[in-house]
Chains A and B, each alone.
Chain A
Amino acid sequence: AQKITQTQPGMFVQEKEAVTLDCTYDTSDPSYGLFWYKQPSSGEMIFLIYQGSYDQQNATEGRYSLNFQKARKSANLVISASQLGDSAMYFCAMRYLRGGGADGLTFGKGTHLIIQP
């Protein structure tokens, strides 16, 4: 069974600093995708970034990048130049790609990020 671990329940960061949110995963399947979602206080789930297990390059989307270390089974999210609007819960998730990933996403428990002015 797949498992996602996020070891930082909460983080306080000064505005404009870079932030790294940790995520480790456990799977024996070689074909999987890793995701990060943001959940602001309003409650919706916002997709941020995706990394496939066979992707050679680390994924980037604007201020978000994913530090993918396959041998260590880690997929940390890096937010550059944090902004007050980045304050939210952040969830790491994984999905098997075999069978098309029909069995859905497995989520970690999340990290509550608070950006301070």
Chain B
Amino acid sequence: NAGVTQTPKFQVLKTGQSMTLQCAQDMNHEYMSWYRQDPGMGLRLIHYSVGAGITDQGEVPNGYNVSRSTTEDFPLRLLSAAPSQTSVYFCASSYQLGSYEQYFGPGTRLTVT
């Protein structure tokens, strides 16, 4: 199993550009989520999904969209990038709600200039 994979590893955007961060898992996990990590901070939840076709907002959803058309994939879209979205983004998954272990991807480091 590859586990949770994220692409790209690094990305530089200009203000106003849009892009999609990819996340995929091959463990047949129902629950997937996106977090962002800013310097000196822990991770904060952006969006999550409890299964294909079902998504919901987390703590910091503004400026981001998600969709979940398959169990495996959970892309995060930045609609119009802003410098405040410079961060490291982590995707995570777990087998089901209530499972105590979340598996994290390696992260995507995004810089918006």
Contacts and interface: CB of A to CB of B under 8 A. Distances in A.
Contact of B48 (A45, A93, A103): A103
B101 A45 contact: no
Contacts of A109: 40-42
A9 B54 CA distance: 37
Contacts of A12: none
A102 B30 CA distance: 11
Interface residues of A, number: 26
Interface stretch (B19-27, B66-74, B102-110): B102-110
Contacts, number: 67
A20 B90 CA distance: 27
Chain B interface bracket (under 10, 10 to 19, 20 to 34, 35 or more): 20 to 34
A101 B88 CA distance: 23
Interface in A24-80: 33, 35, 37, 43-45, 47, 50, 52
A81 B28 CA distance: 37
A91 B43 contact: yes
Contacts of A93: 42-43
B42 A101 contact: no
Contacts of A43: 88, 106-107
Interface string B76-113: 00000000000010101000111011111011000000
Contacts of A100: 31, 50, 96-98
Contact of B100 (A37, A50, A99, A110): A50
B40 A105 contact: no
Q: Which 10 A-B pairs have the closest CB atoms?
A: A100-B97, A107-B42, A45-B104, A104-B45, A50-B100, A100-B98, A107-B43, A91-B42, A47-B101, A43-B107
Interface of A: 4, 33, 35, 37, 43-45, 47, 50, 52, 91, 93, 95, 97, 99-110
Interface of B: 31, 33, 35, 40-45, 48, 50, 56, 58-59, 88, 90, 92, 96-98, 100-104, 106-107
